[in-house]
Amino acid sequence: MKKILFVFTFVLMASALSAQISLGPKIGYTTSKLSVDKSEIKSDLKSSFIYGAFVRLGDKWYVQPEINFYTAGSVFETSSVTSPNPVNEEVELKTIQIPLYIGFTLADLKLAKIRAQAGPTANIISDKKINPLKGSTYTSIKETDINDIQWGFQFGAGVDVLMFTLDVQYYLGLNNLISDVKLNDGSTLKFDSKSQGFMVTLGWKII
pLDDT digits (tens, 9 = 90+) for 135-186: 555 567 788 888 899 999 999 999 999 999 999 999 998 888 877 777 666 6
Judged by DSSP in three states, 4 sits in helix
Compute CA distances 189 → 37, 175, 184, whole Å: 8, 17, 11
Above 70 in pLDDT, residue 125? Answer: yes
Lowest mean pLDDT among 68-77, 83-92, 96-105, 114-123: 83-92
The DSSP code sequence of 114-130 is EEEEEEEEEEEEEEEEE
What confidence score (pLDDT) does residue 17 get?
Answer: 46
pTM of the model: 0.79
Domains of the chain: 2-204 (2.40.160.20)
pLDDT tens for each residue of 22-51? 999 999 999 877 666 655 555 666 788 999
106-110, 117-121, 191-195: the lowest-pLDDT one: 191-195
Q: Cα 148 from chain centroid?
A: 13
pLDDT beyond 70 at 94:
yes
Q: Is the confidence at residue 123, as pLDDT, over 90?
A: yes
